[in-house]
Structure 1
Amino acid sequence: MSKLQLKKLLNSMDKSDIISLMLEMYDTKKEIKEYLDYYTSPNEKEQFLKYKKIIQKEYSLNMSEPNTRLSVAKKAISDFSKLKPSPILEAELMIYLVECGCKYTYNYGDMWEGFYDGMVNNFIRALKFMQKHSLLTEFRINAENCVKWASPCGYGFAGEIKDIFHEYYGRQY
């Protein structure tokens, strides 16, 4: 169904039918419940911390065997983004994922190619987002940490992270 079709349908319904539909969706879909709860009582920081914890769990240095599932971490960012948070918190969550991945490989040694590709792609995505919203300065230290923690890693990962950093911040690091 297109947005136009949905709009026509909603316009044809009376108020009580729309309320019933909303309540049914609220009860049956976790994502809708979360969105409506946030919409009616936005607590950006609480939601940010919730999604940050999901990422942290995937790349935790305190677990004997963390999951390191990039798909779960990316979904956390995507779900947070759907709430339309402030760009600064969205950027912070995006760079946090890369920091966690870089710190994880720094502490545990070389990873597999897909791991590195995912971190590189997310580093680019985070820095592009920050540039678009004029937030590069606020997150320079976070980006420098990514370079530092990637530095002993193999397979060209350290060089790629450093090159991406230089592309956005210049060669001062």
Structure 2
Amino acid sequence: MSKAKLKKHLLSLTKEQVVDIMLELYGASKEANAWLEFYLEPNSDAELEKYKKAIRSQFYGRNDYPKDPSFRECNKLITAFKKLVPDPHAIADLMLYYVEQGCSLTAQFGDYEEPFYTALENNFNKAVKFIVQNGLLTEFAPRIKRMIESVECCGYGFPDTLWDMYYEYANE
């Protein structure tokens, strides 16, 4: 169904019928429930912390014991957070936090296989691109630089790739 068709149908309903539909939707889907709650009480900070905790749990288990992260799950969390339509600063913060968790893991516990670094590089690229597109680079640059410096000891040319990506966007 198209948005136009949905809009036409909703406009033909009474206010009470629309309210009933919204209540059914609220109860029928976790995603709709989360979106409606955020719409009614938009608290980016609280949601951001909730999503950061979920991402961190992909990298660290109990007592901060390292785990093999599910990059797929982390990407799903970023996508779900974006759907809430928080401010771009919060989205950039979460995207960067995701990469920081991977950098922290490798800096603390040693080198990982190449797919680990490739996934982090791809997500770093997305994060920096988003940050630049939203005019947030000046604010996030010190944090990005600290993160890259934290992995200078890692192999596979990982920090060099991150620096290259950063400078590519920083010089635009």
Shift, 1:67, TM fit: 4.4
Per the alignment, residue 24 of structure 1 pairs with 24
Shifted more, 36-45 versus 55-64: the winner is: 55-64
Shifted more, 24-33 versus 56-65: the winner is: 56-65
- 1:37 maps to 2:54: no
TM-score, length-normalised on structure 2?
0.90
User: Secondary structure, in 3 states, of the residue corresponding to 2:64?
Assistant: coil
TM-score, length-normalised on structure 1?
0.89
Unpaired runs of 5+ in structure 2?
none
For residues 38-90 of structure 1, the C-alpha deviation after alignment (integer angstroms, 9 at most, x for no partner) is: 11111111111111111111123843342411122222221111111111111
Unpaired runs of 5+ in structure 1?
none
Per the alignment, residue 157 of structure 2 pairs with 156
Identity %: 38
Q: 4+ runs of 1 displaced by more than 3 Å?
A: none
Paired with 2:91 and 2:49, the residues of 1 have a C-alpha distance of: 11
Shifted more, 2-11 versus 99-108: the winner is: 2-11
Shifted more, 106-115 versus 59-68: the winner is: 59-68
For residues 102-141 of structure 1, the C-alpha deviation after alignment (integer angstroms, 9 at most, x for no partner) is: 1111111111222211111111111111111111111112
1:58-69 → structure 2 map (5 Å cutoff)? 58-60=58-60, 62-69=63-70
Paired with 2:148 and 2:45, the residues of 1 have a C-alpha distance of: 27
Per the alignment, residue 109 of structure 1 pairs with 110
Query: Does the 8 Å contact 1:147/1:165 carry over to 2?
Result: no
Paired with 2:68 and 2:102, the residues of 1 have a C-alpha distance of: 11
Per the alignment, residue 169 of structure 2 pairs with 168
Paired with 1:86 and 1:12, the residues of 2 have a C-alpha distance of: 33
Query: Does the 8 Å contact 2:59/2:66 carry over to 1?
Result: no
Shifted more, 58-67 versus 133-142: the winner is: 58-67
Query: Does the 8 Å contact 1:87/1:133 carry over to 2?
Result: yes
Shifted more, 25-34 versus 11-20: the winner is: 11-20
Per the alignment, residue 120 of structure 1 pairs with 121
Paired with 2:98 and 2:143, the residues of 1 have a C-alpha distance of: 11
Paired with 1:4 and 1:63, the residues of 2 have a C-alpha distance of: 49
Query: Does the 8 Å contact 2:56/2:101 carry over to 1?
Result: yes
Per the alignment, residue 14 of structure 2 pairs with 14
User: Secondary structure, in 3 states, of the residue corresponding to 1:143?
Assistant: helix
